[in-house]
Amino acid sequence: MSGKLTYKQSGVDTIEAQSFVSDISSHVKRTQQARKLCNAFGLFAAAYDLSSYKEPVMVTGTDGVGTKSEILFQMDMIEEAGKDLVAMNVNDILTTGGDPLLFLDYLGISSLEMERTRITRLVAGMCDYLESCNCILAGGETAEMPGVVPAGMIEMAGFSIGCVEKSEMIDPSQLEEGDVLIGYPSDSFHANGWSLVRRVLEQEPDLLTRDEMISLLAPTRLYHDVVTDMRALKVVPRAYAHITGGGLPENLERFLGDRGSDLTIPYWNHPAAQKVLNFVDAEDRFHTFNMGIGWVSIVKPADVEAALKAGPGGSVIGTLRDGKGITVRVAQ
Amino acid sequence: MSGKLTYKQSGVDTIEAQSFVSDISSHVKRTQQARKLCNAFGLFAAAYDLSSYKEPVMVTGTDGVGTKSEILFQMDMIEEAGKDLVAMNVNDILTTGGDPLLFLDYLGISSLEMERTRITRLVAGMCDYLESCNCILAGGETAEMPGVVPAGMIEMAGFSIGCVEKSEMIDPSQLEEGDVLIGYPSDSFHANGWSLVRRVLEQEPDLLTRDEMISLLAPTRLYHDVVTDMRALKVVPRAYAHITGGGLPENLERFLGDRGSDLTIPYWNHPAAQKVLNFVDAEDRFHTFNMGIGWVSIVKPADVEAALKAGPGGSVIGTLRDGKGITVRVAQ
């Protein structure tokens, strides 16, 4: 050995990286049909023109898929992991009344050569969801970190940016006693609380059939349909909430201030989720999982009838009262 | 054991998470002095008002610190890791001519209880750099992933957003033959190429003293000073480049199209970096590391004199010629 090392010898292959960019380019293009970046993909930063907005307010957030990713990868549900990553981020943007415009992903892997097929599938899944809500995959970083990321693992972080006209921004400070909470069904647990799910499945390895496992791993629902319908129906909600870690109580209490509500939610007809919940502390389940309600719109009483038509499956789950705190019971 | 599990038993402590948010709040506040979010910290998404821009174009990117993070953590240089994360992202935003406005971080850890002190230091380091360039820490996600992230590891991804007036956006398509490339010194290798550095250090464990190691791990320089000075001097550059993975050749070729340049850069007076480079393939070093030039401004010939006064240490390293390709030689 001459003692002169190349970058490839250290486990990083930059030629492989360039081919990967061409693998994903057809997927990236799918996300740039109605909306387009105003500079080239692959520059140092992606640019998006907001000059058509009168008084733009940009909105942003970041999230990952947590430990759900490990089970998704074990089950080879790679595309679903991409959808989860998008939904966990885009739903947060939607709570502001904003349009999701741009999405970026950060993927940490041990070897691009080994992971190229899987991360192309991951990006394909992301782009399925992004295309459906008209949001651009504006950039990303796929970091090869041999020795830092365990082999076979893909670390994922997502970032999204949206924009809303200042006059149309949803303002939870306008909430009033008597406003009505409408809940919309989730497709399963969202991408949170999976350390607890994994613990149950370790303790009860034969609890679920393969089909039940797949239904439990359904990607987080994208609530773009609800928000788009609300806009078409000309209902301006008082607030939206995306129900993730912390469940209904924490995700509503974070913006309710001195108000609260005693919620009654429908029984969650999800056999796989119910099997898991049987092994979870009766109180903790409501503070960890969405319990079947993944999205809440809070509207004025006069808007309830219209809001129930926004997206499939909405139902009234409570009304706002004075006094802090959210309680949740399941309808008999 | 009753078989009913709580979330805390599965390794995730939501109360600990709330206290962590209060630990970092004083740092977050430091980044919101001149600029402020227009909604509360801790909502589902952070909002920033762009209505003072005439024709706003938002610019965004994502990056991490790569395998440099592992050595930084081994050396307990936690604050420096936070600075690197910010600089790797904010420098990309600065290449567009935009102001960095918002930054978000995604941190993956195995246990918040174990890592709380270190990630508070990490956020403190991030906020030092963010405060210095007037960029808001707008949000973040600290994901507890027991069993997924190895104990003792912190996975980091950063994400930044800026904004620029459409008329002031830097447009590399305006580049002309004869334009002049000005290089600005780096403080060390940027946060890329460290798999190769680590390989050298494994092969030559006694190569560097502790002080040399610390100087090698200096955080990526934030080139906000150069860009701010350029603006004050009323120099509108044709292009900016942030020199990271791929070195000078790839980071310039990505936007130069059919033009190129034969660069002569000053000898890099960085003893620790030179010691490492001695063990790196003579060609590969220019395609992996910044070789002492971490930022390039390309300006019209008439603007050279003024541009050399922007930020410390700028020097002419070449001129644009027709014909693809960047070559780099070191001045004798």
Q: Which of residues 68-87 of B touch A (CB under 8 A)?
A: 69-70
Check CB contact of B242 with chain A, cutoff 8 Å: yes
Tokens of B226: 């150069």
**Using CA atoms, how far apart are residues A246 and A262, in angstroms rounded to an integer?**
16
Q: Per the domain annotation, does B2 fall within a domain?
A: no
Does residue A178 share a domain with residue A162?
no
Scanning B220-239 for CB atoms below 8 A from A yields none
- At residue A32 the predicted structure's pLDDT band, cuts being 50, 70 and 90, is very high
Contact status of A153 with chain B (Cβ, < 8 Å): yes
User: Same structural domain for residues B189 and B158?
Assistant: no
Q: B283: closest CA among B216, B329, B332?
A: B329
Which of A159, A207, A256 is the best substitution to test chain B (most B C-beta atoms within 10 A)?
A159
Enumerate residues 6+ apart whose C-beta is below 8 A from A293: A183, A184, A185, A186, A243, A248, A265, A317
Q: At how many degrees (to 10) do helices A112-132 and A78-94 cross?
A: 40
Structural domain contains residue B280: yes
Band (A19; pLDDT cuts 50, 70, 90)? confident
Residues within 8 A of B (CB atoms), A 106-125 only = 106, 108
Same domain flag for A118 and A184: no
- Does B12 contact A at CB distance below 8 Å? yes
Contacts of A152 in chain B (CB under 8 A): none
| pLDDT higher than 70, residue A42 | no
Which of B168, B191, B218 represents a domain boundary (last residue)? B168
The per-residue pLDDT for range A172-214, each reduced to its tens digit, is 888 999 999 999 999 999 999 999 999 999 999 999 999 999 9
Residues A290 and A262: their CA atoms lie apart, in Å, by 16
B35 & B146 share domain: yes
B interface test, pick of A102, A148, A161, A169 with most B CB neighbours within 10 Å: A148
Considering only the beta carbons, identify the residue of A38, A46, A279 that sits closest to B4: A279
Shared-domain flag, residues B206 and B164: no
Is A12 within 8 Å of B195 when comparing Cβ atoms?
Answer: yes
Please tell me which of the candidates A55, A193, A282 has its beta carbon nearest to residue B51.
Answer: A55
ipTM above 0.90, yes or no: yes
What is the domain range of residue A29? 8-168
One domain, residues B287 and B216 = yes
Domain boundary among A137, A168, A199: A168
Contact check, Cβ <8 Å, A281/B159: no
Residue closest to A66 by CA, chosen among B164, B146, B37, B92: B146
- Say whether both A215 and A135 belong to one domain: no
Based on the fold, state whether residues B189 and B149 are members of the same structural domain: no
Number of domains in chain B: 2
User: Is position A2 within any domain?
Assistant: no
Residue B30 parent element (H or E): helix B14-30
User: Tens of pLDDT along A267-318?
Assistant: 999 999 999 999 999 999 999 999 999 999 999 999 999 999 998 999 999 9
Q: Are residues B246 and B103 part of one domain?
A: no
| Residues B142 and B276: beta-carbon distance below 8 Å | no
3-state helix, strand, coil in chain A (%, to 5): 40, 25, 35
Domain boundary among A168, A186, A209: A168
Instruction: Flag whether residue B100 sits within 8 Å of chain A, measured between CB atoms.
Output: no
Q: Which of B62, B96, B169, B203 should one mutate to test binding to chain A, selecting the residue with the greatest count of A CBs within 10 A?
A: B62
Picking from B324, B323, B330, B321, the residue whose alpha carbon sits closest to that of residue B181 is: B321
Distance from CA of B258 to the nearest CA of A (A): 16
Write the pLDDT tens digit of every residue in B241-270. Answer: 999 999 999 999 999 999 999 999 999 999
pLDDT at A95 over 70: yes
In a domain, B3, yes or no: no
Q: Do the chains contact at B10 and A195, CB–CB below 8 Å? A: yes
Residue range A111-116: mean pLDDT, rounded: 90
**Do A56 and A197 lie in a common domain?**
no
Closest CA to A169 of A271, A222, A93: A93
Contact B244, B296 (CB under 8 A): no
Token representation of residue A189: 């647990």
Say whether residue A287 is in contact with chain B using an 8 A CB cutoff: yes
Task: Tell me B147's DSSP state.
Answer: T
Does B12 contact A93 at a Cβ distance shorter than 8 Å?
no
A157/A184 same-domain check: no
Residue B151 has pLDDT above 80, yes or no: yes
Query: Residue A284 sits in a domain of what CATH number?
Result: 3.90.650.10
pTM: 0.94
Distance CA A88, CA A242 (A): 9
For the stretch B283-295, pLDDT in tens is 999 999 999 999 9
pLDDT of residue A1 exceeding 60, the answer is no
Q: Which range has the worst mean pLDDT, A274-278, B17-21, B223-227?
A: B17-21
CA neighbor of A68 nearest in space, from A165, A191, A173, A200: A191
Is the CB of A7 less than 8 angstroms away from the CB of B196? yes
Q: What percent of chain B has pLDDT over 70?
A: 98
Under DSSP, the state recorded for A147 is T
